[in-house]
Amino acid sequence: MATAQETTSNGATTPSHRFSLRGYLVGVMEELKRITWPTPQMTFRTTLAVLAMVTLTCLFFLGVDEVIGLGIRALFGIGG
Residue that wins the pLDDT comparison between 16 and 57 = 57
Per the CB < 8 A criterion, the answer to whether 16 and 4 are in contact is: yes
What confidence score (pLDDT) does residue 24 get?
94
Domain count, the chain: 1
Confidence of residue 40 (pLDDT cuts 50, 70, 90): very high
Q: Which domain holds residue 17?
A: 5-76
The model's pTM: 0.57
Q: What are phi and psi of 11, to 5 degrees?
A: 90, -5
Q: What percent of the chain has pLDDT over 90?
A: 64
Is it the case that residue 33 has pLDDT exceeding 60?
yes
Is it the case that residue 49 has pLDDT exceeding 70?
yes
Cβ-Cβ contacts under 8 Å for 3 (sequence gap 6 or more): 15, 16, 17
